[in-house]
Structure 1
Amino acid sequence: MSAPRRPRRFTWIAAPMAAWGLHFAAVYSLQGLGCARGWSDVATRVAMGVATVLALAAVGWIGLRAWRRLREPGRADGAFAARLVAILSLLAAVAIGFTSLPMFLLLPCE
């Protein structure tokens, strides 16, 4: 059985912030589409909620992968990148929370 391939470092390091950026664009695009097309507030909120759950799942998966990489015994190579990805995953999760906070506090088309 072969070991899983190590991802390229730059793309791995940038992955949590890319997930947050895609979430940011998706949520505000869905909000604009919902208002322009006359979607109900519930449908718009559900669509934005699904985008938020998907983004949090992606960031969680990336962070878990980095955490497991840190905890591998006898593997010191890539520890800095793994630690950085774990921290950026936490930061991206907080950023997703702040990005989606207006979704829960305000009506979509106000």
Structure 2
Amino acid sequence: MKQTAPPLPEITLAATAFAALGSEQRLAIVRRLVRAGPEGLTMGDLGNDVGVTGSVLTHHLKQLVSAGLVAQRKDGRRILSSIDHTAINALSAFLVAECCADVAWDLSENGHNHG
């Protein structure tokens, strides 16, 4: 079956996001921010929760912000980091958009696939 490539901007954005997630520490940061919800976390709380602090945390957050996965905002003297749920949902949708597209399903035989 002929495969169709996703539009270039979509695949470029996905590749950028996956590259940013290619570090265990950055993945831990994203997972923690997903759990925190839309309010996000302060740099101190985030760093303590994932075991990454100081300039290393700043470096990782810069990568995630650049990839569009994390947003940062000032709250008085604090900087809050939060996940960009739209970007995370788009990345998930990219992964499953063509799920099982090349598999022929025969629902008449107990739902088993036959290739």
- Relative to its length, the structure with more strand (as a share) is 2
What is the TM-score with the length of structure 1 in the denominator? 0.28
Specify which structure has the higher proportion of helix. Answer: 1
TM, length-normalised to structure 2: 0.27
Q: Which has the larger radius of gyration?
A: 2
> Structure with the greater relative contact order (CA < 8 A, sep ≥ 6): 1 or 2?
1
